[in-house]
Chain A
Amino acid sequence: MKIEKLFIDPAVLGMEETETIRRNLKLSGEVVEKESGIFEYLAAFPDPVLQGKKTLYITHNPGALIKECPGTSHYTCCDYTILHAGTFCTMDCSYCILQAYFNPPLLRYFVEHERIRQELENIARKDRIYRIGTGEFTDSLIWEPISDLPAFLVQQFAKQDRAVLELKTKTVNIDSLRHVDHNRKTIVSWSLNTPEVIRSEERGTASLPARLKAARKCVSWGYKVSFHFDPVVIEPGCEKAYTEVIDRIFEYIRPEDIVWISIGSFRFMPALKPMIEKRFPESKICYGEFIQGLDNKMRYFKPLRIRVYKAMADRIRSRSREIFVYFCMEDEKVWNETLGFFPEKEGELGHMLDKSAAEHCGLGTGN
């Protein structure tokens, strides 16, 4: 999706990051005193969500820059840390929670290079390992064609050994990462799905082969990579389709270059359903066999989840028993029946991921 309209907060006018984006977008932009003016602009369109994907607001982040992932009760969380560098996305996935998360959703780029530098200095002084990602409220690499944010982050993380950066994407916007000294402190990560789901549900994203080729390129540049099967969409025949995607991963990437693979099935707040039905009338994604989870989100009936996860986990393990496989937001029964263990103690999954990150990326070693 091409950014067509640019709004700028007067507080960031003239700053280097702002000017870079203006130049790259070839848009001079409109200075707005209040964000509410942009909301009124968006509300006038028949599909404000779609327009929000073409409308960028350059501003400061008014809140916390570093946040702990909120997780959810009753299901095991990976204890990820979020670097809140921007919001929303130029791609248009039917299942995207961000459609209903912000009101109304809008592309926001936060001019925060200096704060990021300071936060990372603080983190480097702490006696723990951090896994930090920018892909919670936005796609990490949609910003690559218009700003130096991804390359800047890679450079900053390279200077310390307490935290690893995970850039999570469905794009192939990796060119600016090529000549950066990353010092193994960045994991480039792709969200993967079956070609059918990518075609039907992930508008404007890169194809599966394109994502895997981009991953291979990153590996050739010395980066470690990771993959996230999230959301797994459960429909008849999906086990075969997902295990075929797993086979394809290993056609492109050696197991030792993969830091972890996560699996999580489609889950959604009930409020998202009417939004999907309205914006994606051809999509059947909401019509799976869902039940209301303990966190009140809709999720697939547990035996269905277990069946698909087991097929996927078995296939990954048949390729390599070394790759760390974990579930995003699942319970004890699912873990035990599919992977044969459950990270029971609070923070245990996080520690396991920290360990994998440390081994692959040289964290905590003074490298």
Chain B
Amino acid sequence: MITDKSVGLSEIIQDDHPYRITTARSVDSLSRSVDLSGVLHPCILLKEGGTEDRGGYVVVSGHLRIEAMKQTGGTLVPARVVDASQDRQAALLHCARAAVMDNAFSRPLDMVEKAKGVALLNRYMSLEEIVKDSPALFNERLNLRIAENLLTLGRQPANIHRMVLESRLSIKTLAKLETFDPDIRDRFIRLFQYIKMGQNKQLDVVVHIQEIAAREDLSIAEFMDSEKVDSIVTMDHPDENLKSAHLRNFLAERRFPEKTKARQEYRAALKELDFGNAISLDPPRDFEGDTYRISFDFKTADEFNRALDKLIRARYSDRLRELIK
């Protein structure tokens, strides 16, 4: 079923790469290496039928090596050729495994590569089987939830893969977005193309928008198209962190109006105590418990005394009593 041979570059299919999981594009360094020492490790190819104008070998592993050979003018590729003519299913499974393992055991895979690997293997194996064999396939142990998320990602188009690689979209957010209609999913994708934020913040934004829409009897699309959301998303400002903060503050206020109001009132009352920046008086978390916490920083005995004076003055303040009621 497997033979070692040299295959002409012209016999290799160039426009269809069902086994490609690597996300690397540049082969400059590899080209110099190939130019210097040739291809050190044979590529893995799957022998298909082939026609007059199309080669008969599909690349299973070694996409970058073949690209580097093309750049350096090579013509013959050292290869291990898998013949699928006898037992096609077994051969295809072997190729899927080889495509993943050849990459996973030579370097750490990025998220998209793992995802593409899971999606490729899932054509021939169940997710449970992939999880079970994951140490041998991926050189790391996957659990079922991670494998499910990776499969979701692996089935996405190239633009989504790019966003994940650029940390514009987290795999958890993507899994959440998959629960929506495609139109809504695409709206969120566009939102995260405009505004970059961390994984947890991204998920919060999705959940808040979904829940605000439900609370206010709006569709998600209606809410996302609203003037306020649109004005934040399309704000002409180079600082994405600022836009992200604006959006999250707006959503938190709309999702938790009473809590936001209470916080604002607390801050306003605190300001009147004139503690300044050095002294913090923190309310119970979400105003649920009954324990307040006071803390202050000082570098010198004078600073310590000044803070203490402020606290002593505050103890007779009606404002303080109102604040801690």
Contacts and interface: CB of A to CB of B under 8 A. Distances in A.
A31 to B, nearest CB: 31
Contacts of A331: 290
Interface in A292-315: 292-294, 299, 301-304
B214 interface: yes
Contacts of B286: 291-292, 301
Contacts of A303: 258, 262, 287
A303 B258 CA distance: 8
A302 B214 contact: no
Contact of B288 (A286, A291, A332): A291
A303 B266 CA distance: 13
Contacts of B259: 289, 291, 301
A292 B286 CA distance: 8
Contacts of A292: 285-286, 288
B215 A284 contact: yes
Interface string A270-297: 0000000000000010110101111000
Given A284-B214, A284-B215, A289 B288 contact: no
A333 interface: yes
B287 A302 contact: yes
Contact of B290 (A287, A289, A291, A332): A332
Contacts of B288: 291-294, 299, 302
A301 B258 contact: yes
A333 B288 CA distance: 10
Contacts of B211: 286-287
A299 B285 CA distance: 13
A299 B286 CA distance: 11
A74 interface: yes
**For the side of the interface on B, what is the size category?**
10 to 19
A287 B214 contact: yes
Nearest to B287: A302
A339 B259 CA distance: 23
A301 B256 CA distance: 9
Nearest to B286: A291
B257 A289 contact: yes
Nearest to A294: B289
Contacts of A289: 255-259
B286 to A, nearest CB: 4
A284 to B, nearest CB: 5
**For the side of the interface on A, what is the size category?**
10 to 19
Interface in A317-367: 331-333
Contacts of B287: 291, 301-303
Contacts of A302: 287-288
Interface string B241-270: 000000000000001111100100000000
A74 B289 contact: yes
Interface in A54-103: 74
A287 B258 contact: no
Residue picked from B215, B259, B262, B288, most chain A C-beta under 10 Å: B288
A333 B325 CA distance: 9
Contacts of A333: 290
Nearest to A292: B286
B83 to A, nearest CB: 41
A304 B258 contact: yes
A293 B287 CA distance: 10
Contacts of A293: 288
Residue picked from A291, A299, A304, A331, most chain B C-beta under 10 Å: A291
Interface string B63-90: 0000000000000000000000000000
Contacts of B285: 291-292
Nearest to B284: A294
Nearest to B212: A287
A292 B284 CA distance: 12
A329 to B, nearest CB: 12
A360 to B, nearest CB: 34
A287 B290 CA distance: 25
Contacts of B262: 301, 303
A74 B291 CA distance: 12
B215 A287 contact: yes
Nearest to B262: A303
A332 B259 CA distance: 20
Interface in B29-85: none
B320 to A, nearest CB: 18
Interface in B204-257: 211, 214-215, 255-257
23 contacts: A284-B214, A286-B211, A287-B214, A287-B215, A289-B256, A289-B258, A289-B259, A291-B259, A291-B287, A291-B288, A292-B285, A293-B288, A294-B289, A299-B288, A301-B256, A301-B259, A301-B287, A302-B287, A303-B258, A303-B262, A303-B287, A304-B258, A331-B290
Q: Nearest 3 CB-CB pairs, A to B? A: A291-B286, A287-B211, A287-B214
Given A299-B288, A333-B290, 12 more contacts: A284-B214, A287-B211, A287-B214, A287-B215, A289-B257, A289-B259, A291-B285, A292-B286, A301-B256, A301-B258, A301-B259, A303-B258
